[in-house]
Amino acid sequence: MLSKLFHAFSSQRQADEQAEKYRSLIRKEAAIGGQLFGPIPKGGRREFFCLDVRTWVWHEEWTDKDGHRRTVTTRYDVRPNGILKAQDGQPYRPVTPEEGRRLREAARLYMQRVKSELYVA
């Protein structure tokens, strides 16, 4: 009975450690991705990353000229028949062909940078 309890705690600890490693890698990838689009304004934050096999996320925070904190989060859902986009909880809608090309180029650059800067052998 005690060994089963110990095994359950050990398994949970391993799962928690794996989840934290995954979150840490995503944060590092997001920081690399955020740099693809030029300098990040002072006091701002920008992230761009691949969440899963078909979801890309762009998140940006900044302070506007009136001193108000602004935040925009965009999720791209890449599907076989096109790319859908949702911003800040709004419904998904198709992207324009031009935005699709820009996303594809950003994803290509992201993969190159992440591979060379984070997953070097």
Per the structure, the complete domain to which residue 53 belongs is given by: 26-117
Cα–chain center distance at 86: 14
Whole-number average pLDDT of the chain: 90
Q: 100 in a domain, yes or no?
A: yes
Cβ–Cβ < 8 Å for 34, 47? yes
Q: 109 in a domain, yes or no?
A: yes
pLDDT grade for 108, boundaries at 50, 70 and 90:
very high
Statement: residue 116 has pLDDT above 80? yes
Q: 49 in a domain, yes or no?
A: yes
Q: 89 is written with which tokens?
A: 């909880």
Mean of pLDDT values over 84-97: 96
Least confident of 11-20, 26-35, 78-87, 103-112: 11-20
Statement: residue 24 has pLDDT above 80? yes
How far are the Cα atoms of 38, 50, 72 from residue 53, in angstroms, in the given order?
A: 25, 7, 22
Statement: residue 114 has pLDDT above 70? yes
Name the one residue in this structure whose structure tokens are 């935040």.
71
pLDDT grade for 5, boundaries at 50, 70 and 90:
low
| CA 49, 21, 28, 107 torsion-angle sign | negative
Q: 32 in a domain, yes or no?
A: yes
pLDDT grade for 8, boundaries at 50, 70 and 90:
low
Q: 15 in a domain, yes or no?
A: no
pLDDT grade for 112, boundaries at 50, 70 and 90:
very high
Q: Identify the three-state secondary structure at position 42.
A: coil
Tell me the pLDDT tens digit for each residue of 26-71: 999 999 999 998 888 888 999 999 999 999 999 999 999 999 999 9
Q: 59 in a domain, yes or no?
A: yes
How many domains is the chain built from? 1
Q: 34 in a domain, yes or no?
A: yes
How far are the Cα atoms of 31, 40, 46, 90, 106 from residue 35, in angstroms, in the given order?
A: 7, 7, 8, 26, 11
From CA 57, how far away is CA 32, in angstroms rounded? 13
Q: 21 in a domain, yes or no?
A: no
